Amino acid sequence: MLKGEDFGRLFETFEQTAFRLETLAVYNVEDEQEEFADFLAGKPLPPESADNPWVRSMTDLGKQVARVHVLNSPLSDYLRYELAWYPGNIAAGESIGIIDTTRQNITGLPDHDFWLFDDAKVYRMHYTEAGKFIGGELLSDDRLNEYRQYRDTALAHAVSFAEYSAG
């Protein structure tokens, strides 16, 4: 399994497209702990939240970054925090869709996260029960069509972040 810098290099080396399906209510990201605590205390997000530099580092190169987040209401505190970042991700060029399972009954999606790069490599994401990232498992090429279908299903049923936020 890839993790840390090895997993991070995937975002530097993909050529055209990166798609993420997110499914967890909580992601326990060590680097976010202080910022998350500040968010819960009512403090504003950092300035870079207005135009996410990590997303911008990919989209400025002409790469497409997209995600669909499968969630359900009411949102966890962590999801409220994560969704507060989404306008800045969108400003930086990421396409973000939402499937709220309390509003939509969608079948045909996995119960786990994955990244699909260039329609050619798929990494299933593994997390602890508490949402801490364990690593990304490169799946065999014979699983590509399955995960492309998951992506297509998610994109077909997702509403834009703006529509979700307005609803």
**What CATH number did the domain enclosing 75 receive?**
3.30.870.10
In DSSP notation, 139-151 reads PPGGGHHHHHHHH
Coil, helix or strand for 14? coil
* pLDDT value at residue 21: 98
Q: What is the mean pLDDT of residues 160-167?
A: 93
Mean pLDDT over each residue of the chain, to the nearest integer: 96
Quote the tokens at residue 103: 């509003």
What mean pLDDT do residues 100-105 have?
A: 91
Is pLDDT at 153 greater than 90 in this prediction? yes
Is the model's pLDDT at 64 over the cut of 90?
yes
* Mean pLDDT (whole number) for 107-124: 97
Residue-number span of the structural domain to which 58 is assigned: 4-166
**Is pLDDT at 47 greater than 90 in this prediction?**
yes
Domain count of the fold of the chain: 1
pLDDT score recorded for residue 167: 78
**Can you give the pLDDT at residue 104?**
87
**38 has pLDDT over 90:** yes
Residue 48 has pLDDT above 90, yes or no: yes
- pTM of the model as a whole: 0.95
pLDDT of residue 124: 98
SS3 51: coil
Residue 105 pLDDT exceeds 90: no
Which alpha helices (H) appear in the chain, and where do they start and end?
4-8, 10-13, 33-40, 53-59, 77-91, 144-157, 161-166
Can you give the pLDDT at residue 111? 95
Burial of 127 (0-12, 13-18, 19+ CB in 10 A): middle
Evaluate if residue 82 carries a pLDDT over 90. yes
Task: Measure Cα distances from 2 to 6, 7, 31, 118, 129 in Å.
Answer: 6, 5, 18, 18, 19
End-to-end, the C-alpha distance of the chain in Å comes to: 39
